[in-house]
Structure 1
């Protein structure tokens, strides 16, 4: 399939057509000066050569010309060539300039404007080349100039078709992108329904069962520790319902505004021994805020699992033009080999990559550290 770049290149040489046009100029000049029988009178030579060469260079070096500039280019080319033909004897190499003139007008002007320019140029050139020995000589000159006009029309139509083809390709690519986006939205909606129908309903049923279990434990005089455990499980189920609803909303509507500071403090309150420190005035975008919360949540969950009861520090602060989240637990010793290799860290790394952030995790002399570095574009100016 052809494109505009293909049309703008010579099929013979494989180089831009403008360069080919520029190469032809010294060839024409060499034939004009070196070939016997040209016979251009000195008085006519430079008067015609200057505008003709100037018009040729303007056409060859400028890819796009306005209609008035195109008309002037054709007039310079044809005028200079006609002057050279007037100072020579008959049809000589100087005819290359009027031929180029009608070609330029046909290629770069609308049909009607091109004909208004080319017909007078063809007539004047035909008259200047005479006198003729027969009518066939007249027809030969007219046919040569007309062929250049038709060649110009063909080149312009080829460029127009290439541009229309490129526009069709762009429209087709845009349609495919819209179709893919619609399919992605439909998939997210389907996943949201599945999460809501399965996970949220299951957690709601679990919360109801735990509430009944707590009431039965209170009725039967169960130990306070047992009741506390049931209440803690009930809170976890309620938190799971909240997180499931948030996930469903994010899948259906995309990430929404997040109160990062408030959510982090809420996570800290749910984790015994956690301290939360957030820089005042620091604001994050929806996706970045969600990444911070999920990273902190996973880090706290890992700390609760691998270092129960250990103090944990959660800090979110400005870092240059970006932001930094750091979660450090102090268990008194580094974790045993193999800790930290689960899917939770993989999920955190994938979330960080989606927003262009850097995630660093690893042991410290007395515990474990998770560090998330958000880029500058992840922040919203206060």
Structure 2
């Protein structure tokens, strides 16, 4: 539908120009059907006995059934009530319905079904139901079927429109949730790049410069190479900061200055999981605890975090054990629950397990997921040890 600005209309009228407005189709239809109804009544009056009162009443009933169609946009209920009253009076007076009145009656009932509930529609068509029960003629049954069909068609179109709108809203909500999740993931990637990778690159630049300045008797060629290493590291750091700026801008977030979590924060994570799941969640540590490389600790933390999330989602109420085993060359992680076992294919179709495997692979580790030896689900990871 095309809407014309009121200001544009006023200016056009002031300039003496004609403005084309969309026609009021219900009003036009009411006028045409009213004219048809009048012609039908006049034609029947010319063929029958000269009864002015009956002819006038039939004419009023015909107009009463057609003219409410002009009000259908403003109030479908009022239009349907007026048209039904006129049609019912025509029937109980043993007057024949006009084609114009019948068409207008069905049209307002269709719009009524389109805009109102079935209960309201049923109240409007009660006179037709009563007429069909009392008269019990073939015509009354046909009339009742036609009115019910008009209402049903309107209701069907309204339900179809509601379902279509609901589906559109659902798609918009899903797209919004996916975009929100993607923005959050980009922001987290930016934080991890800044806190882990950028730190190591800056250390390369510092150590190269320190070696060049503090090593006595270094050949000129070696000093130049160290200087080139430092310059390359600083260039890489600058480019990474630019990339982080793009990621944060795309994520719509401000830089988060909080330090990335590590193994020291596992107790807080376990407490949070225990409180939210309402079940036993234990942290078991074996071996000699030593500080590890920040990237290794962050990877271990994220794997435990994702495994606990999966346990809450797929094995709600199950007890979970988180085991850390420190050895000389690796950190072994085992997250095991006593739930029903591996998630179904549909439930496991997300990116959680794949994300854990990718995290482990990025630091040179491995990760395995599957059914636990006795019962439940097991996530097992081996991460190489790099002391911080």
TM-score of the superposition, structure 2-length normalised?
Answer: 0.41
TM-score of the superposition, structure 1-length normalised?
Answer: 0.42
